[in-house]
Amino acid sequence: MAVASNFLIGANDEHGINPPTVGKRTPIMPYIGRSFYENEFNRQAKIDFMLACLRCGFNVYDVHPELSDISISTRVVRTNRANVNLVVTFAYNASGDGVTFNNANGLEVYYSLYNPQVAQSRTLSQDVYNNILEFTGGRGRFVGTLSVGMLSSVDCPATLIEAGFMTNFEEAKLMLNPNYVLEVGEGACAGVCEFLNVQYVPREIQNYPTLRQGDRGNSVKMLQYLLNEYGYDLSTDGIFGGKTYTAVLNFQKNNNLTQDGIVGRNTWTALLNLNPTTNTLRRGSRKSAVLYLQKLLLSYLYPITMLDGIFGAETERAVQAFQAENGLVADGIVGKNTWAKLLSSSGRPNTT
């Protein structure tokens, strides 16, 4: 087996979200009256991919850290200057007029015949394709060729993932489903591991080391990326300094954990949401599981305008609506029965 730390993995998310790239969106989603934008999926899938790569021991390079869109030429220049060993781009497909939903569906993964390492790009793409299908259990369409800059003009093996069709109603909902997004990111990482002959390290609690102030390295980067998901504004520099320590303390406080600034088993479990269903959530809750709940509800088309991890009136109304529509007592409390329905649901049906 190869040593993961010998490799630098490039990660790229297509388009931007602040402001949203024009045209890269679903049709208007019923019940919530807005589109899901492509980068809402792309960026989170990229982050989940980088987190998986860091856990597996790789070094990572974020080609597109900005929230705004940037040109393909800038992305290519950055990728080549960073001298990455390969680059993975996350995207979401569309078919038809973009205004109405249709039946086109499934995973497509691309490489370019013009890439200087075309054979390696083809193998990388096939490995990524196979592993994403294994992790998601979704439908695959094909591994194909495409001549775009992030595949053709970079100096390393490159692949582009079109993880579904935003013009397919059911796959549009998956764009914001935290379980699906995570599975795509993890599957892509497993594909990279297979391509580079590196051991894939599962997303299990024993694979996250105890961290404390003064530590450095990729595990600290993982911590910082995860804390940023909960609204902390940290530099992902891999240094466990004072600002990271304060963020850990605040996170522990919000999750009813011992406030010692040490990231051990319980803090990692909360950060990763490994056991969200063990939490009973109600109005006023601020645990990490609330953010997961909000993302699920929004992907199921229950109106959530603020993904802030705070169980307020809006989240309570969404929970009550879900409960009423699924034969549960509509008390707004997310306990065992509501979690079970949430995890077995595919969300509201299409009314358009």
Question: Per-residue pLDDT for 331 more than 80?
Answer: yes
Check whether 351 has a pLDDT greater than 90: no
DSSP one-letter string for 16-52: -BTTBPTT-BPSPBTTTTBPPBHHHHHHHHHHHHHHH
Task: Say if residue 188 is in the same domain as residue 216.
Answer: no
Q: Round to whole Å and give the CA distance between 104 and 96.
A: 9
- Tokens 């980068």 identify what position? 39
Range of the domain at 298: 279-344
Shared-domain flag, residues 56 and 161: yes
Q: Which strands sit side by side in the sheet containing 86-93, from one edge to the other?
A: 59-62, 8-13, 86-93, 158-165, 107-111, 140-145
- Percent of the chain at pLDDT above 70? 100
Classified as helix, coil or strand, 211 is strand
Co-location of 33 and 159 in the same domain: yes
Angle at 145 between CA 38 and CA 121, to 5 degrees: 95
Cβ atoms of 107 and 129 closer than 8 Å: yes
Q: What is the pLDDT of residue 136?
A: 98
What domain count does the chain have? 3
Mean pLDDT of 146-162: 97
* Assigned domain for 351 exists: no
Return the CATH number at 220: 1.10.101.10
pLDDT (average), residues 331-348: 97
Buried b (16+ CB within 10 A) or exposed e, 161-184: bbbbbbbbbebbbbbbbbebbbbb
* Degrees, nearest 5: CA angle 131-134-139: 105
Categorize the per-residue pLDDT at 118 as very low, low, confident or very high, splitting at 50, 70 and 90. Answer: very high
pLDDT band at 30 (very low <50, low <70, confident <90, very high): very high
What one-letter code names the amino acid at 191? G
CB-based contacts of 131: which residues, under 8 Å, 6+ apart?
Answer: 187, 188, 190, 191, 194
Structure-token pair, residue 148:
């775009």
The answer to the question of residue 205 being in a domain is: no
Structural contact between residues 35 and 27, judged by C-beta atoms closer than 8 angstroms = yes
How far apart, in whole angstroms, are the C-alpha atoms of residue 176 and residue 108? 19
Convert the pLDDT of each residue in 66-96 to its tens digit.
Answer: 999 999 999 999 999 999 999 999 999 999 9
Q: How confident is the model over 247-264, as a mean pLDDT?
A: 96
- For residue 206, the number of C-alpha atoms closer than 13 Å in the C-beta half-sphere is 2
User: Is 140 strand, coil or helix?
Assistant: strand
Say whether both 239 and 322 belong to one domain. no
Q: What percent of the chain has pLDDT over 90?
A: 98
228 burial level (CB within 10 Å; 0-12, 13-18, 19+): middle
- Residue 349: inside a domain, yes or no? no
How confident is the model at residue 35, as a pLDDT?
97
Asked if residue 329 and residue 218 are part of one domain, the reply reads no
Last residue of a domain, one of 196, 221, 248: 196
Alpha-carbon gap, residue 129 to 24, rounded angstroms = 23
Average pLDDT rounded to a whole number, residues 133-153: 97
Instruction: Take residue 154 and report the two structure tokens written for it.
Output: 């970079």
Q: Tell me if 350 is assigned to some domain.
A: no
Q: Quick check: 148 pLDDT over 90?
A: yes
The answer to whether residue 330 sits within a structural domain is yes
Give the pLDDT band (50/70/90) at residue 349: very high
Residue 142 near residue 132 (C-beta atoms within 8 A): no
| Within a domain: 43 | yes
What is the rounded average pLDDT of the residues 286-315?
A: 96
Please, what's the b/e burial string for 38-56 (b: 16 or more CB within 10 A of its CB; e: otherwise)? bbbbbbbbbbbbbbbbbbb
Do 145 and 49 belong to one domain? yes
Gap between the Cα atoms of 230 and 253, Å rounded: 13
CB 111 within 8 A of CB 118: yes
Tell me: the pLDDT tens digits for 178-210? 999 999 999 999 999 999 999 999 999 999 999
- Is there a domain that residue 153 lies in? yes
The domain boundary, picked from 196, 224, 243, lies at: 196
**What pLDDT sits at residue 135?**
98
Q: Is residue 203 part of a domain?
A: no
3-state SS, residue 92: strand
Strand-pair category, 158-165 with 107-111 = antiparallel
Question: Are 321 and 264 members of one domain?
Answer: no
pLDDT at 352 over 80: no
Q: Which tokens is 104 given?
A: 């086109």
Question: In terms of domains, do 263 and 289 share one?
Answer: no
Same domain, 51 and 118: yes
List, in sequence order, the alpha helices (H) in the chain.
38-55, 72-82, 118-136, 149-152, 169-174, 178-196, 218-229, 242-254, 265-272, 288-299, 313-325, 336-344
Instruction: Say whether both 29 and 162 belong to one domain.
Output: yes
Q: Are residues 59 and 167 in the same domain?
A: yes
Across the range 159-176, mean pLDDT stands at 98
User: Mutual orientation of helices 265-272 and 218-229 as an angle, nearest 10°?
Assistant: 50
Question: Mean pLDDT score of the chain, rounded to an integer?
Answer: 97
> Where among 272, 294, 312 does a domain terminate?
272
Indicate the pTM of the whole model: 0.97
Residue 143 belongs to a domain with what CATH number?
Answer: 3.40.630.40
Q: Please check whether residues 248 and 298 belong to one and the same domain.
A: no
1 touches 131 (CB < 8 A): no
